[in-house]
Chains A and B, each alone.
Chain A
């Protein structure tokens, strides 16, 4: 089944403890991206990647890192998580660049709580 898989789905951690949220897609998609969703603020783009070793900032990249070493994987790294990074995170991918009218496929989400 074609899908975007995120892990973990739920995580409670403490301030400052590094964590990684993994994202993997099995559709050979070139474009991958991360978002966070917060009540009252909606869904906001954190980072995106147009291909292996090519990443760029979205609207809210502060406090996050990403890497794209393989086409299928796009992990989101929180080096020193803080409570304001408590959120619902989504990974998404598409066949090609969004400028090329390509549809996004979303993962099921990862709910992160930072105490």
Chain B
């Protein structure tokens, strides 16, 4: 059964630093991996989607990489800002079922 793990569960970093969030999954037979952001009391917003045939995707200050064979993905955030404070979730899907990690709660210190 697919399991998705995100480490660390929580992270605090000073504003301006670059940071990396980690995601690992146990079954490499995935179609896609997505990274989401969730603000307190709100729904999820999709940040990046990487197809299984791709190695990375970039959007602004965000870069997500995928190493399917090793079951790992990273989300790199450059020049962090207080507005980046949120919970970040990764999710993988095979077919039309999707499995989420429990998220990393990120706090950017002003």
Task: Give chain A's interface residues, CB within 8 Å of chain B.
Answer: 4, 31, 33, 35, 40-45, 48, 50, 56, 58-59, 90, 92, 97-99, 101, 103-109
Are B44 and A104 touching (Cβ within 8 A)? yes
Task: Give chain B's interface residues, CB within 8 Å of chain A.
Answer: 31-32, 34, 36, 41-46, 49, 51, 89, 91, 93-103
| Pairs A-B, 9 closest by C-beta atoms | A106-B43, A42-B102, A43-B100, A106-B44, A98-B93, A103-B46, A98-B96, A101-B51, A108-B43
Are A104 and B51 touching (Cβ within 8 A)? no
In the complex, 28 of the A-B residue pairs with CB atoms within 8 angstroms, ordered by the A residue number, are A4-B43, A42-B100, A43-B44, A43-B89, A43-B91, A43-B100, A48-B97, A59-B97, A59-B99, A90-B43, A98-B31, A98-B32, A98-B96, A99-B31, A99-B32, A99-B94, A101-B31, A103-B49, A104-B44, A104-B98, A105-B46, A106-B43, A106-B44, A106-B45, A108-B42, A108-B43, A109-B41, A109-B43
Once bound together, how far apart are the Cα atoms of A40 and B103, in whole Å? 10
Query: How many A-B residue contacts, CB cutoff 8 Å?
Result: 66
Once bound together, how far apart are the Cα atoms of A105 and B46, in whole Å? 7
A108 smallest CB distance to B (angstroms): 5
Once bound together, how far apart are the Cα atoms of A27 and B48, in whole Å? 20
CB neighbours of B103 from chain A (8 A): 42
Are A44 and B100 touching (Cβ within 8 A)? yes
CB neighbours of A42 from chain B (8 A): 89, 100-103
Are B96 and A97 touching (Cβ within 8 A)? yes
